[in-house]
């Protein structure tokens, strides 16, 4: 169809050569990098994630490193979730908001040491944000983007593969916890995490020159379990109700509207960015909420690039922020960011690809 013009602005991942060798055939951009989105066989890639094990180039999940005596202070100033109980070796999913309480990213915060944190970010520039806030508040902390590139291993067989590769200790890792590990000269952080609900691990590679080597070691270790290439899977993530920052959120979305209220602690210190706004929003009650929508149409629909309006009784009540044909449900499923006046069971219409579709609102997740 069309190609990609190489440039230093659009950085390839350390796994780029390896994914080309696997037959990658589509990319998206994320954090000014390329991320594989297809190897040409969607059904095979989907079922490999659901029933087996899949390896993903997710180097685009960049780390914003906070290092110095005030690293923990800065992390808590940036994140409206209580990090005071976070242990070295533990990760926590944290919403980041601006001063108005609007969601600006949803990273995993990893505490590597008392003076060393990583924010493993979604698609927005938190490096600028964190360094500006550190400077304005006069904090003793160095903010940088280190040479760290996650490779995800996802699916019910992922634990067997990672145990085979790194040792049985990985079986004891709790969700979002991690350990530093040297894999025959390849420096890694091994975490139980990943953007699917099928279970798995992420290997944070700390030396970009060894991307192909790591990819091939994982591929080799996974052979007995039929490992193959994949990527964050759109159908699985919608079925599982996982939010995509920037896709399911806009310039007005607060955490309460997208089922992230449980990751906000209103008692964090008053100098946490956005906490005053979140206290107000929480007290007043958010105006929108996220529900699932199941379209009646049996054939896959094409939602296009943008959000699609949702109507009830002819009045616009919200937006369809994504829509995908679910392989397990065999229906078009989507997320509705919609007025709190609309509830589960309501029948609504959504304009998708220029066609008015009917559907019903449901709880999330779907599966």
The closest alpha carbon to 110, from 53, 17, 162, 177, belongs to: 177
325 scored as a contact of ligand THG (CB under 6 A): no
**Least separation, in Å, of the C-beta of 206 and ligand THG?**
13
The residue (of 108 and 301) whose beta carbon lies closer to ligand THG is 108
Only one of the segments 103-111, 206-214, 270-278, 303-311 lies at the binding site for ligand THG (rule: CB under 6 A); that segment is 103-111
Element at 4 (helix H, strand E): none
Only one of the segments 191-199, 331-339, 344-352, 354-362 lies at the binding site for ligand THG (rule: CB under 6 A); that segment is 191-199
Q: From the list 195, 215, 325, 366, which residue makes contact with ligand THG (rule: CB under 6 A)?
A: 195
Interacting residues with ligand THG between 104 and 133 (CB under 6 A): 106-108, 120-122
**Least separation, in Å, of the C-beta of 347 and ligand THG?**
28
**Least separation, in Å, of the C-beta of 92 and ligand THG?**
7
String of contacts with ligand THG for each residue 61-80, x by CB under 6 A: x-------------------
149 scored as a contact of ligand THG (CB under 6 A): no
> What tokens were used for 104?
């600006």
351 scored as a contact of ligand THG (CB under 6 A): no
**Least separation, in Å, of the C-beta of 247 and ligand THG?**
11
The residue (of 91 and 359) whose beta carbon lies closer to ligand THG is 91
200 scored as a contact of ligand THG (CB under 6 A): no
**Least separation, in Å, of the C-beta of 130 and ligand THG?**
15
**Least separation, in Å, of the C-beta of 196 and ligand THG?**
8
The residue (of 312 and 328) whose beta carbon lies closer to ligand THG is 328
Q: What is the total count of residues that contact ligand THG (CB under 6 A)? A: 14
102 scored as a contact of ligand THG (CB under 6 A): no
- Residue 296's alpha-carbon distances to 3, 325, 329, 349, in angstroms, are 36, 12, 12, 10
Interacting residues with ligand THG between 229 and 268 (CB under 6 A): 242
**Least separation, in Å, of the C-beta of 322 and ligand THG?**
14
The residue (of 107 and 222) whose beta carbon lies closer to ligand THG is 107
Query: Strand order in 91-93's β-sheet?
Result: 91-93, 108-113, 116-120, 63-67, 142-144
Give the 3-state secondary structure of the chain.
CCCCCCCCCCECCCCHHHHHHHCCCEEEEECCEEEEEECCCHHHHHHHHHHCCEEEECCCCCEEEEECCCHHHHHHHHCCCCCCCCCCCCEEECCEECCCCCEEECCEEEEEECCEEEEECCCCCHHHHHHHHHHHCCCCCEEECCCCEEEEEECCCHHHHHHHHHCHHHHHCCCCCEEEEEECCEEEEEECCCCCCCCEEEEEECCHHHHHHHHHHHHHHCHHHCCEEECCCHHHHHHHCCCCCCCCCCCCCCHHHHCCHHHCCCCCCCCCCCHHHHHHHHHHCCCEEEEEEEECCCCCCCCCCCCEEEEECCEEEEEEEEEEECCCCCCEEEEEEEECCCCCCCEEEEEECCEEEEEEEECCCCC
154 scored as a contact of ligand THG (CB under 6 A): no
**Least separation, in Å, of the C-beta of 40 and ligand THG?**
23
45 scored as a contact of ligand THG (CB under 6 A): no
193 scored as a contact of ligand THG (CB under 6 A): yes
**Least separation, in Å, of the C-beta of 245 and ligand THG?**
7
Residues that bind ligand THG (CB under 6 A): 61, 93, 106-108, 120-122, 150, 193-195, 202, 242
């Amino acid at each position: 169809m069309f190609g990609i013009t190489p440039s230093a602005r659009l950085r390839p991942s350390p796994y780029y050569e390896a994914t080309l060798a696997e037959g990658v055939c589509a990319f998206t951009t994320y954090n000014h990098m390329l991320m594989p989105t297809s190897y040409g066989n969607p059904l095979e890639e989907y079922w490999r994630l659901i029933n087996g094990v899949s390896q993903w180039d997710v180097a685009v999940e960049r780390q914003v490193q906070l290092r110095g005596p005030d690293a923990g202070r800065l992390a808590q100033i940036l994140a409206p979730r209580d990090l005071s109980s976070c242990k070295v070796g533990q990760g926590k999913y944290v919403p980041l908001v601006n001063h108005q309480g609007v969601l600006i990213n949803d990273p995993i915060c990893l505490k590597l040491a008392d003076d060393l944190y990583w924010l493993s970010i979604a698609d927005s520039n938190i490096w600028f944000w964190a360094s500006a806030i550190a400077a304005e508040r006069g904090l003793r902390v160095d903010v940088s983007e280190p040479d760290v590139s996650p490779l995800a291993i996802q699916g019910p067989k992922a634990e067997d593969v990672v145990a085979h590769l790194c040792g049985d200790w990985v079986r004891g890792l709790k969700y979002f916890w991690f350990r530093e590990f040297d894999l025959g000269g390849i420096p890694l952080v091994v975490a139980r995490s990943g953007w699917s609900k099928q279970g798995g691990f992420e290997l944070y590679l700390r030396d970009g020159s060894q991307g192909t080597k790591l990819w091939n070691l994982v591929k080799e270790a996974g052979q007995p379990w039929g490992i193959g290439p994949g990527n964050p899977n759109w159908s699985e993530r919608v079925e599982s109700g996982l939010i995509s920052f920037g896709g399911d959120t806009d310039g007005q979305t607060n955490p309460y509207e997208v089922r992230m209220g449980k990751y906000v602690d209103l008692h964090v210190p008053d100098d946490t960015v956005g906490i005053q706004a979140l206290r107000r929003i929480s007290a007043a009650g958010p105006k929108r909420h996220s529900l699932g929508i199941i379209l009646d149409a049996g054939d896959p629909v094409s939602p296009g690039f943008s959000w699609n309006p949702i109507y009830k009784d002819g009045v616009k009540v919200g937006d369809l922020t994504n829509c995908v044909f679910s392989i397990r449900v065999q229906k078009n499923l989507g997320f509705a960011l919609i007025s709190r006046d609309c509830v589960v069971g309501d029948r609504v219409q959504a304009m998708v690809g220029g066609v008015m579709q009917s559907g019903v609102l449901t709880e999330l997740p779907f599966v």
